[in-house]
Structure formats: structure tokens, C-alpha cells
Amino acid sequence: MDNRNTTKNYIHKIIKSDGTIIDSEELICKSGVEHFRNRFNDHFTNAPLMNPHVIPHIINDFDNDYLYLLPYDVEIYNVVMDLNGDSIAGPDGFTTKFFQKCWDIVKVDIIDAVIDFFKGSPYLKFFTSTNIVLIPKIVGDNKWNDFRPISLCSFFNKLISKIISKRLESILPRIISCNQTGFVKGRIIFDNVLLTQELAHEINTKVKCGNIILKLDISKPYDNLNWNFLYKVLSLFDFSDFFIKLIKNSIDNCHFSVIINSRNHGFFKSCKKRSHLFEYIFTCFQKKLTH
């Protein structure tokens, strides 16, 4: 099965953005690293935030104290056991199952590392190293944009993201509008699908100015988000500077390698970390876009 999948997903040629076809494995790998290095790095100019008054000041001191409170041992343990033990290992080579089964042996080191992070220490490069595996959207893809990049993070990376995400779960419903149903606990994205169907059925209803439905889609939203813009939005919500620093520390020092034809290629720095935490933070970004 693995051999068949490897053969099926083997990249024999790539059509570059300028139409050039490359079929040399060495050139394909270099092209892939260059493409995703450019894609995962910001190419934006810092512009002033328009209409900052539309962001409500919701986060209070109690919320901020809770968000960057040093985690208790039991909280870290519960998050470790809650992680998917069968998820694929990242560059560290250890699956979550290893840490779950060997918790009594490794718990002191894991807890110390987590506490150190919540005291403000940035990630070590070893923890932020991430492998990118490319999943073809359709059979026969031969352009880099036709591959879906999936990040394989280290265990510690997943652990920190999960701890912060679980703390945000109780706060996000107060921040995110009720019509935003994705990534918010207790809300179901299919509710908006049903609402859209009902609106579409009523599109021909006669009204004074007519009816119109707009479908807006953000192309590669995770890759096109300017993190400096997001930090400003978080600040407007009144998230503390220290909590925003924790988010920065978990993002700003990420390093990626791209898996092409079963081998790792490149090792470049990027701020485009992909994790469960990013999905939660991204909803705050969407809040600004809806105004």
C-alpha cells in the first residue's frame, strides 16, 4: 500500500508559473523549496489599520490573567492525553503516543519546557522545525499551487498550541460574531450552509431594491494573512501584550523542510505556522474583515 501511494504521488515534472516545464528531480526539489519559501513568508507592507473603532474592547484583566497563567501539571497532563496519539510524527520523530505511554519518564522535562515557554522564553529551533508534506488535490497535479501543504509539527509544538487553544475556547464565543460558526466550540458550520440555502430559495422575492448574494472566498487565507495585522487586531480586542508575545514566540521562529518524493529538502524560516491554534486566531482576523 505504501509503495503504491509513493509511486502515485511521485512528482515527475512541474510546470512553473512562467510556463517552464522542469523534469529533473534536482530542479524540481529546488523549485519546490523556492515556491514554498516565498509562499510562507510575508510580502506585505505595514499599513495603518483602518476603522479600529469597529473592534470592541472585550478582553478583561481576568481573561488575560487566565490566558498566560503558568499551566498546572494536571492541565499539561490532560492536554497531552487529549492529543491524537496516532498523528504522524514531525521532525523530532516521536509520535504523541510515545509521550502518552512514557509520561512517567518524560513528564518532568515536558512540564519544565512548557513552564519555560509560558514565562516568555521563545521556542528553540528544534521545537519549531516542521515538515511539509504535499497532498495532490487531483491526480496528475503538476503545478505547486495544485498541492495542499500539510504541516507535520513536533510534539512540543502541538502541545503548546493545544494548551493555548483550549484556554481560548471559553473566550472566543464572546469575541466572534454569532454568524461565524467555524472553529468556535458549540457552533456548527453547517448552520450557515442551511441558512444560505434558505436565502437562495428566497432570492426571487420582490423587494424595493432587488436582491443579491455575494460569495466571497479568501484564496489561501492562511498563507496570505499578515501576522502584524493580526497582532494589531488582537491588541484592539485588549489581549495583553504578554499574551500576544506568547503567540509571536510560537510563530516567529518556525523553520520548514519540504518533503518531495519521500525526502526532505530545504530548511527555511517562516512565520506561517499551521496549527490548531492558528485556526482559533484566524477567527479574530475574520472578525475585522466583516466590518
Rounded-to-integer distance, Cα 251 and Cα 157, Å: 10
Rounded-to-integer distance, Cα 157 and Cα 79, Å: 13
Q: Tens digit of pLDDT per residue, the chain (291 long)?
A: 455 555 667 888 888 878 888 988 899 999 999 988 888 776 655 666 666 676 778 889 999 999 989 999 999 999 999 998 888 888 888 899 999 999 999 999 999 999 999 998 887 777 888 899 998 887 766 888 888 888 888 898 889 988 988 888 888 778 776 666 666 666 667 777 777 788 777 777 777 777 777 776 666 666 666 777 788 888 888 899 999 888 888 777 788 899 998 899 988 887 665 555 666 666 665 555 555
Residue extents of the structural domains in the chain: 14-187+223-285
Helix axes 103-118, 155-169, angle to 10 degrees: 60
Of 250, 178, 234, nearest in space to 63 by CA? 234
Rounded-to-integer distance, Cα 142 and Cα 13, Å: 6
In this prediction the pTM is 0.79
